Amino acid sequence: MASELTRKTATELAAAVSGGEVSAAEVTQAHLDRIAEVDGRVKAFLHVSADNALAAARAVDDKRARGEELGPLAGVPVAVKDLFATVGMPTTCGSKILQGWVPPYESTVTARLRQADGVIIGKTNMDEFAMGSSTENSGYGPSRNPWDLAKVPGGSSGGSAAAVAAHLAALSLGTDTGGSIRQPAAVCGVVGTKPTYGGSSRYGVVAFASSLDTPGPFGRTVLDTALLHQVMSGHDPMDATSIDAPVPPVVEAARHGDVAGMRIGIVSEFAGDGYQPGVMSRFAEAVELLEALGAKVTEVSCPHFTYALPAYYLIAPSEASSNLARFDGMRYGLRSGSGSAEEVMAVTRAAGFGPEVKRRIMLGAYALSSGYYDAYYGKAQQVRTLIIRDFEAAFEQVDVLISPPTPTTAFDIGERADDPMAMYLADLCTIPSNLAGNAALSVPIGLAPENGLPVGLHVMAPPLADDRLYRVAAAVEAAYQSRWGHPLLDEAKGL
């Protein structure tokens, strides 16, 4: 029974709990048992909150016993990336500088999850302060890909993607600053969405790059992902960048996926050298499938997308250098050394931050420095405007754009550790949507023939047209359902 519960979708679990077929406590315990069984190998979690999760599950069961209507995530275990502030649980951002810090307040997104009767089962591993594409930059060691434990699960939300792929949680929360939901979703064979910027609240999300950070959902199915997307979204007066507009009808779109008559554009710039043959062959199959389902597919050029990567690596580090100045050893978190405030700050930051965070702080501080601001940060923002215009021109021609989410399947742990540029290229296809703020999603489209690892399809839609993502993804998922799946962890290579 327990193993069967961890294989069910979030939609199935919520219906079973609401209908009294199973208790929320039983569902939660089954997932806790699964974590105990396999997470020693996957290392998706930094903190498992067993007591809190079981207490939350019993509260759901009590609510049902009183005859009250349950929320849309009734009793569903959800894993949360460890940069969402959570009362009663540590929030470390994968960094030693925040080791053991328990926030005194709750993020809007996790509060909404709890209000929907979801059960937060624990906090997941991540690249430190969300800076990375492999989860190897965590201050607490790397997570591993459930499809092959020698491979990375992507990043920075690698722990959240791995938790869902390994059936440790039915759903999970991540954040996407340059591809940190879509890239791990692609390499772990799950669904992951970056909502429209401002569509999900950043209140209580520890900031990396404030103009880019976007909380979003992971799920094993398109409908599950849409369900969490809907619950976590909506206007929040606590977030000055939150959009005061209705949440797009993402659940309805996920239930009625249909691409007949849709105009779909292939981004011509996302191909060529560096793209793995197996990724491109699966992408070509997906294009043929979309055409067979009645979509009109054409190539669309977005010429300034080529400059998105260098623009991003000026804008994001610049914002990070400002945001991370607050971690100084003075108010909370790690404090090292003695002497003057300046000496304590220097020792604390040297000890608490990892090499990738230090690299980006230095890049950002340089780009913002006197005499260089206009040449670097200012010029990058001009490029950002050109990318926004490319999207606007493209969406005048087509309803959605598609590409691979990332040029390759999951790579070996350690393979790119000493080559930052190779690591940064993992986000080549995803970064433009962060710079422009539009919605984007990755949905699985099978396994690469050369290594049997998951490949995704990247779908991009205009701002506040998030439902188009789910319309396309649901149609693709239904067509591919018989082709791909999610193996039990003990079937993965290397075990």
Catalytic residues: 81, 156, 180
Q: Report the relative pairing of strands 296-300 and 263-267 from DSSP bridges.
A: parallel
Alpha carbon distance 380, 428 (integer Å): 16
Alpha carbon distance 136, 152 (integer Å): 8
Q: How far is CA 2 from CA 5, 119, 166, 168, 258, in A?
A: 5, 17, 15, 12, 35
Q: Is 292 left (phi over 0), alpha (psi -120 to 50) or beta?
A: alpha
Q: Which residues of 16-47 are buried (b: 16+ CB within 10 A; e: fewer)?
A: bbbeeebbbbbbbbbbbebbeebbebbbbbbb
Alpha carbon distance 443, 56 (integer Å): 31
Contact predicate 169/152, CB 8 Å: no
Pseudo-torsion of CA 409, 414, 419, 423, nearest 10°?
30
Q: How many CB atoms lie within 10 A of CB 464?
A: 18
Q: Which two tokens stand for residue 85?
A: 């502030």
Asked whether the CA dihedral 257, 8, 133, 345 is positive or negative, the reply is positive
Q: Which three-class secondary structure state does DSSP give residue 406? A: coil
